[in-house]
Structure 1
Amino acid sequence: MNKLLFLLLAMAPVDHIIKDFYHHHQYILVAAHRADHGVYAENSLPAIQTAIDKGIDIIEIDVRETKDGVLVLMHDEGIDKKTDGHGKVADMTFSELQALHLKREGVVTKERIPSFRQALEMARGKIMIDIDFKADTKSAMLATCKMVKDMGMEKQVLFFVYDYKDADLVRAIDPDIPVMPRVHNAAETMAVVKQGRYPILHGDDGCYTDSLMQVVRKANMRVWMNALGDYDDLGEQGFDSLLQKKQINVIQTDKPEELLAYLRKKGLHR
C-alpha cells in the first residue's frame, strides 16, 4: 500500500470534510438544519446519526443552558412546541427535561432532549458542527467552548454568532474555535472581510450580490446561505434558483439528502 493511500484510509470521515471546507472551495457543502429531521425529531441524537450515515457535511444544532448549568440541544426558549412538557429550558433542570419526550411535527416521539456533550460525542470524528448558540450567559459560552476544547474538536466546529461584533467574545475565550458571523448588509460584510479572522460568513438574501460575495471568496472565506423555506419547498427548481447566487458554497437546508444528491449530480460535491 502506498503512503498516500494509507494516509487517506487513516483519515477520519470528518477529516475529508474539513479538508474540503478549507481547501476545496469549489465544492458546495451541505448543512443539515437542526440535524437531519426528515424522520426523527430535530436536534435529537437519531437526527444527528442519520446525517452522519448519509454523508452530510455539517449539522446545525441549537445550544441552550438548563437551570442547573447543563448545555442541551433545543431551538426554542420554551419547550411547549418541541416536547410533551411545558416551561422554559432555563427554568428547568436537566433531570426534569430528561423526563420529557421530543415532538416531531406535533407528534410525541421516543427521543429525549440530548445534552450538548452527547451530541459532541456522537459527532466526534464524523461530521462538522455548526453551533447555533442560544444560551444567554457568558458562563454558558465559556462552558460551550471549554467542552469543545476538552474533546479536541476545535477544527470540527463553527461557532455561529448573530452579530459579527460578538465574535470577539468567542475568540477571547478560545481563538482556536472558528467563528461564523452573520452579516445583514454590505457594510457588515466588508467589516468582516477586513478583520480577516473567519473561514466563513453567513449571508442573507437581502445582502447578497455576486460582486460583494466575490470579495468574500477572494478573502478565502466560504459563503453560507440558507435554502430554508421557499428554496427547499421547490426542490431541484429551488436549488437551481439558489445557485444563481454563484458565490455560495455552503447551503443550510431542511432537505439535506435531496440537496446532496442534487449537488453530486451537478458535480458540485465530492
Structure 2
Amino acid sequence: MKKTTFVLTIFLTLISNAQPTDNSPDSTSHIQLLRQKITTYDDPYVFVIAHRGCTANAPENSIKAITDCIELGVDMVELDVRKTADGVLILMHDDTLERTTNGQGKVSDYSYDELTQLALKTKFGGENAPITGERIPTFEQAMLVAKDKILVNLDAKADVFNDAFNVLKRTDTQDHILMKKWLKPSDTALSLQTPFNQVLSMPVLAHPKAYQSKNYFSAIDYRAQLETHPIAAEFIFDSLDFAYQISQLARQNGVRSWLNSLTGWTSAGLGDAQALKNPDAVWGMFLAMGFSMIQTDHPKQLLNYLKKMKCEHLPNCKRHLTSMQFDR
C-alpha cells in the first residue's frame, strides 16, 4: 500500500505539471492533438475511452452513443464491428440480435437493408430493455459522425480489418482509428501486418487464466511483443502482480498501457462498480501503476475523477478546465 501511495503521489505531480495545450481554432486540429498525445509516451495525459459509446442515455454502438461522447469530451469511443449477410460493416457486439435490438436470429443471416428495419434497445439492452428510435448504424456512418471530433477504437468481431480500412480510406479517417488485435507471444508484430501498419494499432495481450484458457502467459512472455514498440497495448488480466509487471515492461519500452475497467473480469476483479465507490482504490491505483488509457462504461465519472485529481494540485484549476480541452 505504501508503494502504491508513493507512486500515485508521483503520478499526481506529473499530471499537475502538464502544460496546457492550445486548442484554439487556428492551432493543430483536435484529432492531431490527440494523436500527438497518444504517440508521446512521456506525455502524462490520460485517455478516457467509452466502451461501446456513452450509454447513459443511448443504446450501445449507436450514433447517439457517439455524439453523446463528443459532447461530453471523451477522447475515444470503442465500437464493435461485424459484417452483414451482404458484406456491410455495421456496429454490433453480439452475433445475434436479441440482446440489443427488437429482432431475432444471427446478424450474418440478414442483409443491411433488413437490419435497418430493426430498432436498438436502450443502453446495454437485455430482454426487458425499452426500445428506442435509434437504428443499427454502419461503420461508415459512425466514422463520418466521429470525423474531426473523436478517436475510434475498432473492436472487430471477425476478420473485417481490411474492409474496415477501406471504409477509413473512403471517409478519409485513417488518422482517427486505433485498431487492435489479440496476439500471442509468438505472433507477428502488428507493425508487420497489413492494414495495422498503416494506422495506429495496438496488440491485446492477455493473462488468460481469467477466462480458463489452456494458454497461460506471464508478463515476461510478452516482452518481445512490447519490444516492437507499439504505441499502446491492451492488457487483460486476473492478477494484480501481472498488471504491475506488464505495465512496467510497457513503461520500459515506451508503450502506453490500456486498462479495461468495465465489469472487472478483465482487470483482476477491480472494475467500474468498485471505482464508483472508491475511485482512488481502482482508477487511482492503476494510474499509479502506469496505465494511461482507461476504457470504462462510466466516462463522465472518470472524467470528473481526473479533473478532481488535477484540481487538488493546481491553484487555477477551474479557469484551466473551462478553457483548455486537454488540461484535465
TM-score, normalised via structure 2 length: 0.74
Aligned to 1:195: 228
Counterparts of 1:92 and 1:142, CA distance in 2:
21
Aligned to 1:178: 200
In the superposition, relative to structure 1, how do residues 33 and 178 fare at CA in structure 2: closer, same or farther (>3 Å)?
A: same
Check whether the contact 2:263–2:272 (CA below 8 A) recurs between aligned residues.
yes
Shift of 1:226: 1.2
Residues 102-145 of structure 1: per-residue CA shift (max 9 Å, x gap): 0124211100000000000000111111000012x4xx321111
Structure 1 unaligned runs (5+)? none
In the superposition, relative to structure 1, how do residues 72 and 258 fare at CA in structure 2: closer, same or farther (>3 Å)?
A: same
Q: Secondary structure at the match of 2:26?
A: helix
Aligned to 1:248: 291
Counterparts of 1:74 and 1:169, CA distance in 2:
27
Between Structure 1 and Structure 2, whose CA radius of gyration is higher? 2
Shift of 1:14: 2.2
Would you say how many aligned residue pairs link Structure 1 and Structure 2?
Answer: 263
- Percent identity at matched positions? 29
In the superposition, relative to structure 1, how do residues 151 and 89 fare at CA in structure 2: closer, same or farther (>3 Å)?
A: same
Map residues 19-34 of structure 1 onto 2, 5 A cutoff.
19-23=36-40, 25-34=43-52
Map residues 57-136 of structure 1 onto 2, 5 A cutoff.
57-104=75-122, 105=125, 106-135=129-158
Counterparts of 2:148 and 2:130, CA distance in 1:
32
Shift of 1:171: 2.6
Residues 182-214 of structure 1: per-residue CA shift (max 9 Å, x gap): 112414431311223x10000123363434312
Pick the aligned partner of 1:222 from 253, 256, 266: 256
In the superposition, relative to structure 1, how do residues 6 and 33 fare at CA in structure 2: closer, same or farther (>3 Å)?
A: closer
Pick the aligned partner of 1:257 from 275, 300, 324: 300
Counterparts of 2:121 and 2:296, CA distance in 1:
20
Note if 1:39 corresponds to 2:73: no
In the superposition, relative to structure 1, how do residues 170 and 254 fare at CA in structure 2: closer, same or farther (>3 Å)?
A: farther
In the superposition, relative to structure 1, how do residues 182 and 5 fare at CA in structure 2: closer, same or farther (>3 Å)?
A: closer
Shift of 1:20: 2.1
Residues 9-60 of structure 1: per-residue CA shift (max 9 Å, x gap): 3433222222222225312110000010111000000000000111101100
Check whether the contact 1:141–1:170 (CA below 8 A) recurs between aligned residues.
no
Aligned to 2:279: 239
Shift of 1:68: 0.4
Give the counterpart letter for 1:225 in structure 2: L
Residues 48-85 of structure 1: per-residue CA shift (max 9 Å, x gap): 00001111011000000000010000000001111000
Structure 2 unaligned runs (5+)? 1-20, 207-217, 265-270, 312-325
**RMSD of the TM alignment (CA)?**
2.4
